[in-house]
Protein backbone atom coordinates (compact mmCIF):
# COMPACT_ATOMS: atom_id res chain seq x y z
CA UNK A 1 0.00 0.00 0.00
CA UNK A 2 1.33 3.45 -0.91
CA UNK A 3 2.12 5.77 1.97
CA UNK A 4 0.22 9.07 2.14
CA UNK A 5 2.11 11.79 0.29
CA UNK A 6 4.33 14.17 2.22
CA UNK A 7 5.64 17.61 1.35
CA UNK A 8 9.14 18.56 2.48
CA UNK A 9 10.19 22.15 3.15
CA UNK A 10 13.62 23.69 3.53
CA UNK A 11 13.49 27.30 4.74
CA UNK A 12 16.49 29.63 4.59
CA UNK A 13 16.78 33.08 6.14
CA UNK A 14 18.58 35.68 4.04
CA UNK A 15 22.27 36.53 4.48
CA UNK A 16 23.57 39.29 6.71
CA UNK A 17 23.05 42.98 5.93
CA UNK A 18 24.73 45.98 7.51
CA UNK A 19 21.40 46.74 9.17
CA UNK A 20 21.46 43.32 10.84
CA UNK A 21 24.99 44.01 12.04
CA UNK A 22 24.15 47.48 13.37
CA UNK A 23 20.76 46.59 14.87
CA UNK A 24 18.73 48.69 12.45
CA UNK A 25 15.07 47.80 11.89
CA UNK A 26 14.59 46.85 8.24
CA UNK A 27 11.00 45.80 7.57
CA UNK A 28 10.23 46.56 3.91
CA UNK A 29 13.41 48.62 3.38
CA UNK A 30 15.28 46.94 0.54
CA UNK A 31 18.66 46.54 2.21
CA UNK A 32 21.50 44.73 0.46
CA UNK A 33 23.74 41.90 1.61
CA UNK A 34 27.02 43.09 3.09
CA UNK A 35 30.38 41.37 2.51
CA UNK A 36 29.73 38.79 5.22
CA UNK A 37 26.23 38.19 3.86
CA UNK A 38 27.56 37.58 0.36
CA UNK A 39 30.00 35.02 1.75
CA UNK A 40 27.25 33.36 3.79
CA UNK A 41 24.90 32.87 0.83
CA UNK A 42 27.63 31.18 -1.21
CA UNK A 43 28.30 28.80 1.66
CA UNK A 44 24.64 27.89 2.20
CA UNK A 45 24.29 27.42 -1.56
CA UNK A 46 27.06 24.82 -1.47
CA UNK A 47 25.45 23.15 1.53
CA UNK A 48 22.17 22.67 -0.34
CA UNK A 49 23.60 21.92 -3.78
CA UNK A 50 22.94 18.17 -3.67
CA UNK A 51 19.30 18.41 -2.62
CA UNK A 52 16.54 18.01 -5.19
CA UNK A 53 14.09 20.92 -5.02
CA UNK A 54 10.84 20.92 -6.98
CA UNK A 55 10.25 24.66 -6.61
CA UNK A 56 12.08 27.64 -5.12
CA UNK A 57 10.07 30.52 -3.64
CA UNK A 58 11.66 33.75 -2.41
CA UNK A 59 10.78 37.15 -1.03
CA UNK A 60 11.20 39.98 -3.53
CA UNK A 61 13.42 42.01 -1.18
CA UNK A 62 17.03 42.03 -2.33
CA UNK A 63 18.56 40.46 0.78
CA UNK A 64 16.37 37.37 0.31
CA UNK A 65 16.35 37.35 -3.51
CA UNK A 66 20.18 37.41 -3.69
CA UNK A 67 20.30 34.59 -1.16
CA UNK A 68 17.88 32.56 -3.29
CA UNK A 69 19.93 33.31 -6.41
CA UNK A 70 23.06 31.90 -4.76
CA UNK A 71 21.23 28.67 -3.99
CA UNK A 72 19.34 28.48 -7.28
CA UNK A 73 22.50 28.56 -9.40
CA UNK A 74 23.14 25.00 -8.16
CA UNK A 75 19.60 24.05 -9.30
CA UNK A 76 19.31 25.62 -12.77
CA UNK A 77 16.30 23.54 -13.83
CA UNK A 78 14.20 24.20 -10.72
CA UNK A 79 11.20 26.57 -11.12
CA UNK A 80 11.86 29.88 -9.35
CA UNK A 81 9.10 32.20 -8.08
CA UNK A 82 9.32 35.60 -6.39
CA UNK A 83 6.38 36.15 -4.01
CA UNK A 84 5.80 39.37 -2.06
CA UNK A 85 3.94 37.46 0.64
CA UNK A 86 7.34 36.22 1.84
CA UNK A 87 8.38 39.80 2.66
CA UNK A 88 9.31 40.84 6.18
CA UNK A 89 6.70 42.61 8.26
CA UNK A 90 6.46 46.33 7.47
CA UNK A 91 7.49 48.23 10.63
CA UNK A 92 6.20 51.61 9.44
CA UNK A 93 7.87 54.63 11.07
CA UNK A 94 10.23 52.36 13.00
CA UNK A 95 11.83 51.12 9.79
CA UNK A 96 15.34 52.49 9.34
CA UNK A 97 15.72 53.38 13.01
CA UNK A 98 18.15 51.80 15.43
CA UNK A 99 16.63 49.73 18.18
CA UNK A 100 17.50 52.41 20.74
CA UNK A 101 15.96 55.20 18.65
CA UNK A 102 12.84 53.08 18.16
CA UNK A 103 12.58 52.45 21.89
CA UNK A 104 12.96 56.16 22.58
CA UNK A 105 10.18 57.00 20.09
CA UNK A 106 7.86 54.37 21.55
CA UNK A 107 8.45 55.72 25.06
CA UNK A 108 7.96 59.32 23.92
CA UNK A 109 4.66 58.47 22.23
CA UNK A 110 3.55 56.18 25.07
CA UNK A 111 2.97 53.42 22.53
CA UNK A 112 4.08 49.82 21.96
CA UNK A 113 5.77 47.91 19.15
CA UNK A 114 2.39 46.74 17.90
CA UNK A 115 1.25 50.33 17.29
CA UNK A 116 3.63 50.74 14.35
CA UNK A 117 3.57 49.38 10.84
CA UNK A 118 1.69 46.34 9.61
CA UNK A 119 -0.70 44.79 12.17
CA UNK A 120 0.55 41.45 13.45
CA UNK A 121 -2.68 39.66 12.52
CA UNK A 122 -2.50 40.91 8.92
CA UNK A 123 1.14 39.90 8.64
CA UNK A 124 0.37 36.41 9.94
CA UNK A 125 -2.64 36.06 7.62
CA UNK A 126 -0.40 36.90 4.67
CA UNK A 127 2.19 34.29 5.68
CA UNK A 128 -0.42 31.61 6.36
CA UNK A 129 -2.22 32.42 3.11
CA UNK A 130 1.01 31.79 1.21
CA UNK A 131 1.49 28.48 3.05
CA UNK A 132 -2.09 27.44 2.20
CA UNK A 133 -1.45 28.04 -1.47
CA UNK A 134 1.76 25.99 -1.43
CA UNK A 135 -0.04 23.10 0.27
CA UNK A 136 -2.89 23.25 -2.26
CA UNK A 137 -0.47 23.30 -5.19
CA UNK A 138 2.22 20.84 -4.09
CA UNK A 139 0.73 18.38 -1.56
CA UNK A 140 -1.56 15.77 -3.18
CA UNK A 141 -4.67 14.65 -1.35
CA UNK A 142 -4.77 11.25 0.32
CA UNK A 143 -6.60 9.40 -2.44
CA UNK A 144 -6.27 5.63 -2.59
CA UNK A 145 -4.04 4.53 -5.42
CA UNK A 146 -3.30 8.11 -6.47
CA UNK A 147 0.48 7.84 -6.16
CA UNK A 148 2.81 4.92 -6.85
CA UNK A 149 4.58 3.37 -3.83
CA UNK A 150 8.01 4.59 -5.00
CA UNK A 151 7.03 8.11 -6.05
CA UNK A 152 9.33 10.74 -4.58
CA UNK A 153 7.71 13.32 -2.33
CA UNK A 154 8.06 16.94 -3.41
CA UNK A 155 10.57 19.29 -1.76
CA UNK A 156 10.04 23.06 -1.59
CA UNK A 157 12.68 25.70 -0.81
CA UNK A 158 11.59 28.98 0.80
CA UNK A 159 14.02 31.90 1.13
CA UNK A 160 12.66 34.61 3.37
CA UNK A 161 13.05 36.68 6.56
CA UNK A 162 13.21 36.01 10.28
CA UNK A 163 9.76 37.41 10.99
CA UNK A 164 8.16 35.21 8.33
CA UNK A 165 9.99 32.12 9.60
CA UNK A 166 8.83 32.77 13.16
CA UNK A 167 5.22 33.31 12.09
CA UNK A 168 5.13 30.24 9.87
CA UNK A 169 7.05 27.72 11.94
CA UNK A 170 6.78 28.76 15.59
CA UNK A 171 3.29 30.25 15.57
CA UNK A 172 1.41 28.51 12.77
CA UNK A 173 2.90 25.04 12.47
CA UNK A 174 3.78 24.44 16.11
CA UNK A 175 1.25 26.50 18.08
CA UNK A 176 -1.74 26.46 15.71
CA UNK A 177 -1.40 23.07 14.02
CA UNK A 178 0.47 21.20 16.74
CA UNK A 179 3.42 19.97 14.67
CA UNK A 180 5.91 17.76 16.50
CA UNK A 181 9.31 19.33 17.17
CA UNK A 182 12.34 17.05 17.08
CA UNK A 183 14.52 19.33 19.22
CA UNK A 184 12.69 21.81 21.43
CA UNK A 185 15.92 23.15 22.95
CA UNK A 186 17.03 24.46 19.56
CA UNK A 187 13.86 26.58 19.35
CA UNK A 188 15.23 29.04 21.93
CA UNK A 189 17.55 30.41 19.23
CA UNK A 190 16.43 32.96 16.66
CA UNK A 191 16.43 32.23 12.95
CA UNK A 192 20.00 33.24 12.15
CA UNK A 193 21.29 34.64 8.87
CA UNK A 194 21.34 31.85 6.21
CA UNK A 195 20.09 29.39 8.83
CA UNK A 196 18.42 26.24 7.52
CA UNK A 197 15.07 25.12 8.96
CA UNK A 198 13.25 22.00 7.79
CA UNK A 199 9.76 20.58 8.24
CA UNK A 200 7.53 18.00 6.61
CA UNK A 201 3.74 18.21 6.11
CA UNK A 202 1.15 15.45 5.73
CA UNK A 203 -2.62 15.54 5.39
CA UNK A 204 -4.56 13.90 8.19
CA UNK A 205 -6.68 11.04 6.91
CA UNK A 206 -10.29 11.47 7.98
CA UNK A 207 -13.20 9.48 6.61
CA UNK A 208 -15.76 11.07 8.93
CA UNK A 209 -15.23 14.73 8.14
CA UNK A 210 -17.70 16.51 5.88
CA UNK A 211 -15.37 19.45 5.27
CA UNK A 212 -13.39 19.33 2.05
CA UNK A 213 -9.65 20.00 2.33
CA UNK A 214 -9.85 23.00 0.03
CA UNK A 215 -12.67 24.52 2.10
CA UNK A 216 -10.66 23.92 5.26
CA UNK A 217 -7.55 25.67 4.02
CA UNK A 218 -9.63 28.64 2.91
CA UNK A 219 -10.29 29.52 6.57
CA UNK A 220 -6.73 29.26 7.84
CA UNK A 221 -6.13 32.97 7.49
CA UNK A 222 -9.12 33.88 9.66
CA UNK A 223 -7.95 35.29 12.97
CA UNK A 224 -11.29 35.01 14.73
CA UNK A 225 -14.86 34.41 13.75
CA UNK A 226 -18.15 34.78 15.52
CA UNK A 227 -21.07 32.40 15.99
CA UNK A 228 -24.46 33.37 17.25
CA UNK A 229 -25.28 31.41 20.38
CA UNK A 230 -28.80 30.59 21.54
CA UNK A 231 -29.07 33.71 23.66
CA UNK A 232 -28.04 35.97 20.79
CA UNK A 233 -24.56 36.74 22.09
CA UNK A 234 -21.60 36.53 19.75
CA UNK A 235 -19.28 33.71 20.66
CA UNK A 236 -15.66 34.14 19.59
CA UNK A 237 -13.89 31.11 18.15
CA UNK A 238 -10.14 31.16 18.58
CA UNK A 239 -7.68 31.16 15.70
CA UNK A 240 -6.24 27.90 17.08
CA UNK A 241 -9.64 26.16 16.98
CA UNK A 242 -10.22 27.22 13.39
CA UNK A 243 -6.80 26.14 12.25
CA UNK A 244 -7.13 22.64 13.69
CA UNK A 245 -9.83 22.03 11.06
CA UNK A 246 -7.13 22.16 8.40
CA UNK A 247 -6.30 18.50 9.06
CA UNK A 248 -2.58 18.83 8.50
CA UNK A 249 0.10 17.29 10.65
CA UNK A 250 3.85 17.14 10.46
CA UNK A 251 7.24 17.53 12.07
CA UNK A 252 9.74 20.34 12.46
CA UNK A 253 12.89 18.32 11.92
CA UNK A 254 15.53 21.10 12.01
CA UNK A 255 15.54 24.65 13.35
CA UNK A 256 17.96 27.49 12.52
CA UNK A 257 20.95 25.30 11.69
CA UNK A 258 24.12 27.16 10.68
CA UNK A 259 26.59 24.28 10.75
CA UNK A 260 27.64 25.30 7.23
CA UNK A 261 28.94 28.60 8.63
CA UNK A 262 30.50 27.08 11.73
CA UNK A 263 32.46 24.67 9.54
CA UNK A 264 33.92 27.66 7.69
CA UNK A 265 34.60 29.65 10.85
CA UNK A 266 32.03 32.28 9.84
CA UNK A 267 29.89 34.20 12.30
CA UNK A 268 26.17 34.70 11.96
CA UNK A 269 23.65 37.17 13.30
CA UNK A 270 20.60 36.09 15.28
CA UNK A 271 21.55 35.17 18.83
CA UNK A 272 20.34 38.18 20.84
CA UNK A 273 16.90 39.32 21.91
CA UNK A 274 17.37 42.43 19.79
CA UNK A 275 17.10 40.33 16.64
CA UNK A 276 13.34 40.12 17.02
CA UNK A 277 13.21 43.54 15.35
CA UNK A 278 15.99 43.57 12.73
CA UNK A 279 14.95 40.81 10.31
Residue ranges of the domains in the chain? 6-213+248-277
| CA distances, 7 to each of 46, 54, 163, 173, 210 (Å) | 23, 10, 22, 14, 24
For the chain, the straight-line distance linking the first and the last C-alpha, in angstroms and rounded, comes to 45
Confirm or deny that 193 is annotated as ligand binding. Answer: no
Options 3.40.50.1240, 3.40.50.2000, 3.40.190.10, 3.40.50.620; CATH for 6-213+248-277 is 3.40.50.1240
With bands split at pLDDT 50, 70 and 90, how would you rate the model's confidence at 270? low
Mean pLDDT of the chain: 85
Q: Where are the alpha helices (DSSP H) in the chain?
A: 18-21, 35-47, 62-72, 99-108, 120-138, 162-165, 213-217, 239-243, 259-262
Confirm or deny that 14 is annotated as ligand binding. Answer: yes
Instruction: Judge contact between 193 and 270, C-beta under 8 A.
Output: yes
Is 274's pLDDT higher than 60?
A: no
Residue 263: per-residue pLDDT: 77
Among 14, 75, 138, 155, the active-site one is 14
Q: What are phi and psi of 257, to 5 degrees?
A: -85, 130
Is 195's pLDDT higher than 90?
A: yes
User: Active-site residue 88, yes or no?
Assistant: yes
Confirm or deny that 13 is annotated as ligand binding. Answer: yes
Is 95's pLDDT higher than 70?
A: yes
| Closest listed residue to residue 7, CA positions, set 164, 166, 152 | 152
Global pTM reads 0.84
Is 277's pLDDT higher than 70?
A: no
Is 11's pLDDT higher than 90?
A: yes
User: Active-site residue 14, yes or no?
Assistant: yes
| Closest listed residue to residue 211, CA positions, set 250, 246, 173, 248 | 246
- The predicted-structure confidence for 212-228, as pLDDT tens digits, reads as follows 444 445 334 444 444 44
Mean pLDDT value of segment 251-272? 80
Amino acid sequence: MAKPPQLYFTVVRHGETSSNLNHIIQGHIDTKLNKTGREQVEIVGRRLRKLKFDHIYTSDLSRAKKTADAIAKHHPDTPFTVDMRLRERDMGRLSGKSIQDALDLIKEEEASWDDYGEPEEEFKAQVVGFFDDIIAKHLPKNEAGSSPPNKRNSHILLVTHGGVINKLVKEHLIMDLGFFVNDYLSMKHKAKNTSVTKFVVRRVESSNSTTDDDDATSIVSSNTTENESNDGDSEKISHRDIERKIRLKGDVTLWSCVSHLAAQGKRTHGDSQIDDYVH
